[in-house]
Structure 1
Amino acid sequence: MRKLFFVVLIMAAASRVFSQDEKAVSCDLSSVITVDGLVDEWPMNWEVSDDKKFSYNVCTDENNIYVRMMTKDDMIKRKIALFGMTVWIDANGKKKRKLGLKFPTGVEANERADAYMAANKDRKDMTAVERDLAQKEITRKFILDIEVMELIGLSDKPLTSTRSGITNGIKVAIANGAEESYGYELIIPFKSYRLSKASISTLAIGFETGKYVPPPVKNNNPGSQYGGGGMSGSGMGMGGYGGNNNYARRGSYQSNPMGSSSSTWTFIKLK
C-alpha cells in the first residue's frame, strides 16, 4: 500500500508539471512590445510563482523567446539591484544552469554603491525612517540606465557586452514600474544561443537573483571573519543599505536573506 501511495504521489507531481507546460503561449510579439522594461503592453495575463514573489510570462514564435518579469517584493528587488539577475535557458526542459543571460550583472551597482557611500558618510546616524527612504532610493536608482550584460554558456567564461554592443540580437531592459515594482523584458533569438526551436520539446526558463558574497577572509580572527559585511568590498551593509553589519559580527552571512539567491522556474511546451 505504501509503495502504491508513493507511485500515485509521483504521478500527481508529474501531472502538475505537465499542466504547467500546457499553459505555454505561442506568440509573435516582435511588433507588439518595445523592450524598455515597461511591461504593460503584453497581451496576456501574468503567471505567478508559487511563493508569489515573481510574476512572469514566457512565449515563443519561430525565431525568438519572449520573456517578461515583474516583482514587487522588496528583498527580491534589492538582490536584483545590488547583485543582478540571471535568466536561465534549458532547451532540455530541466533546470540546468548552463545557458543564460545575466542582466543586471551587479557591476554597475558596485560602482554606484561606492559613490553612494562616499556621499553619505553619516548614514550611521540615520533614523529608521531615513534608512527606509534611503533603501527605496537605492532600489530605484541602482537599475537606471544599466548597460552591462553577461552571456553565459557560449564560451568557457561569460561573455561581457552592453545592450548597445554585440548582443547576438538579444534585447533586454529593466525599469521601475507602478507600485514600486521592477519590470523586466527580454527577447532572445533562438540562434543567439545556437538553439533550434524545431528540436525543443519543452523549454525551461529560470529567473535567479544574485546574492551577497562576503569578501575574502583577511585574518584568522573568527570574530571578524566577514569584515564589515560589505557587498564584495563596497561597504554596503548586507542587512540593508545603511552599514548594518550585525550579521557579519555573528560570523554567519548565510543567516541573512541577502546571502542566498531567490529563483523560480517555468516550463513551456513547444511541441
Structure 2
Amino acid sequence: MSLIKFSLLMLSVWVLISGCASRVTVQSQRVTQNILINGHDDDWEGQMQIIEKTGVAIGIRNDDDYLYLALSPLNRGMAMQWMTAGLTVWLDSTGGKNKRFGIHFPIGLSDLGIPPMIMMGMPGERDTKRDNPLEKMSDRLLEEVEIIGPGKYDKQRIGTKESTTLQVRLTHNPNGMFYELRIPLQNDPRNVCAINTRPGKNLGIGLETGKMERGRGMPPMGEGGLGGPRGGGRPGGSRSGGRPPEMERAEPLSVWISTTLSESLKRDRKMD
C-alpha cells in the first residue's frame, strides 16, 4: 500500500470527539487474513481512523486469540512525543478507563537517561548519512517493551524479540511513523501477558504519553529527523522552512477509545 494512498484513506475516515481527554468509539474489525507485525501499514488498508484533535490515527482488529492495534502519528510533534516521552497503551478488560494493565513502547528517551534535545537533531546531524547518532539512539528505544501490571507495582521489561505471542514493532523514516501491536486476549502459560478478555466483549484502550520537555532554540527537523504523517497526512501537505508548528504546541496525548471485539467465528459456527 502506497504512503499517499494510506494518507488519503485516513483523511477520509474521521472520528469526531470533543478533545484529547475525551472518549471515542471505534469498532474492532474481524481479522480475515494473517497480520504480520513488522511496523508497516500493508495489512491495514481501509482499517485506519483519525481521532480528531489528537494527531493520531488508529486501527483495531481481533481474531479469537489476539488483539491487533495499529497507530500512526499525523504530525512531527506527536511522533517526537512517542520517541522522547514514550507511549503507553492501556488495556481495560472491563471496557472502562482503568490503568492497571498497559504496554509501554517505545519506552522513551527519558527512561533511558538520554537528553531529549539530542533527539531533535544537532546541527549537521540531519545531513549525515553514515553513523548518525540520532538513528542509533532511536533504534535503541525500540529494543525493549515494558509490561505494566496487572498488579499495582508490576513492571517487566523484555526484548521486543523475546516473546512470540506479545509482538510490538514501530518503524520511522522521513515519510512517517507506524506502530503495530499484537497481544493475547486470554491468559495462557505460553503468554508473557494477556488482556484477560474474549471476543464479543467491550474493551477500553487508552493512549498516553508523558510530558515532553520543550527547550529553547531547538533546531528544525529536516530529512534526517522523525517523520510526521505518511504521504503528507493532512490537507496542503507539510510546511517547508523553519520548525513545524506541531513541534511548538505538542501536548501530551491522553485519550480513551471504547471498542467491542468482534465475535468469535467458533461461536458463530456453533450457532449455525
Band of TM-score, shorter chain: 0.5 to 0.7
Contact residue 54 and residue 253 of structure 2 kept, 8 A: no
Q: In the alignment, does 2:161 pair up with 1:184?
A: no
Give the Cα–Cα distance (whole angstroms) in 2 for the partners of residues 138 and 55 of structure 1.
Answer: 29
In the TM superposition, what is the alpha-carbon distance from 1:102 to its structure 2 partner?
Answer: 0.3
Paired position in structure 1 for 2:139: 144
Q: 1:90 aligns with which of 80, 89, 92?
A: 92
Paired position in structure 1 for 2:155: 158
Paired position in structure 2 for 1:100: 102
Q: Which secondary structure state, in structure 1, belongs to the residue aligned with residue 78 of structure 2?
A: helix
In the TM superposition, what is the alpha-carbon distance from 1:133 to its structure 2 partner?
Answer: 7.6
Q: In the alignment, does 2:21 pair up with 1:25?
A: no
Contact residue 103 and residue 148 of structure 1 kept, 8 A: yes
Contact residue 109 and residue 142 of structure 1 kept, 8 A: no
Structure 1 pair 180–99 and aligned structure 2 pair: CA distance change class (3 A): same
Task: Specify the code of the residue in structure 1 equivalent to 2:209.
Answer: T
Give the Cα–Cα distance (whole angstroms) in 1 for the partners of residues 133 and 53 of structure 2.
Answer: 25
Q: In the alignment, does 2:60 pair up with 1:64?
A: no
In the TM superposition, what is the alpha-carbon distance from 1:181 to its structure 2 partner?
Answer: 1.5
Give the helix-richer structure, 1 or 2: 1
Structure with the bigger RCO (C-alpha within 8 Å, sep 6+) is 2
Structure 1 pair 52–157 and aligned structure 2 pair: CA distance change class (3 A): closer
Contact residue 151 and residue 159 of structure 1 kept, 8 A: yes
Q: In the alignment, does 2:194 pair up with 1:193?
A: yes
Residues 87-114 of structure 1 show CA distances to partners (whole Å, capped at 9, x for unaligned) of 1101111122211100111158845549
Return 5+ residue gaps in structure 2 as ranges: 1-17, 188-192, 220-247, 264-272
In the TM superposition, what is the alpha-carbon distance from 1:257 to its structure 2 partner?
Answer: 5.0
Paired position in structure 2 for 1:247: none
Paired position in structure 1 for 2:257: 266
* Aligned residues between the structures: 202
Give the Cα–Cα distance (whole angstroms) in 1 for the partners of residues 146 and 202 of structure 2.
Answer: 24
Q: CA RMSD in A?
A: 3.7
Paired position in structure 2 for 1:227: none
Structure 1 pair 209–67 and aligned structure 2 pair: CA distance change class (3 A): same
Structure 1 pair 240–41 and aligned structure 2 pair: CA distance change class (3 A): farther
Contact residue 72 and residue 180 of structure 1 kept, 8 A: no
Provide TM-score, normalisation by structure 1.
0.61
Task: Specify the code of the residue in structure 1 equivalent to 2:93.
Answer: A
Return 5+ residue gaps in structure 1 as ranges: 1-12, 213-230, 232-236, 243-255
Task: Specify the code of the residue in structure 2 equivalent to 1:204.
Answer: G
Contact residue 88 and residue 101 of structure 1 kept, 8 A: yes
In the TM superposition, what is the alpha-carbon distance from 1:18 to its structure 2 partner?
Answer: 11
In the TM superposition, what is the alpha-carbon distance from 1:163 to its structure 2 partner?
Answer: 0.8
Structure 1 pair 158–28 and aligned structure 2 pair: CA distance change class (3 A): farther
In the TM superposition, what is the alpha-carbon distance from 1:78 to its structure 2 partner?
Answer: 1.1
Q: Which secondary structure state, in structure 1, belongs to the residue aligned with residue 25 of structure 2?
A: helix
In the TM superposition, what is the alpha-carbon distance from 1:269 to its structure 2 partner?
Answer: 1.4
In the TM superposition, what is the alpha-carbon distance from 1:34 to its structure 2 partner?
Answer: 2.0
Residues 12-57 of structure 1 show CA distances to partners (whole Å, capped at 9, x for unaligned) of x9xxx99935x3312255x2x2212111322433111021511111
Structure with greater Cα Rg: 1
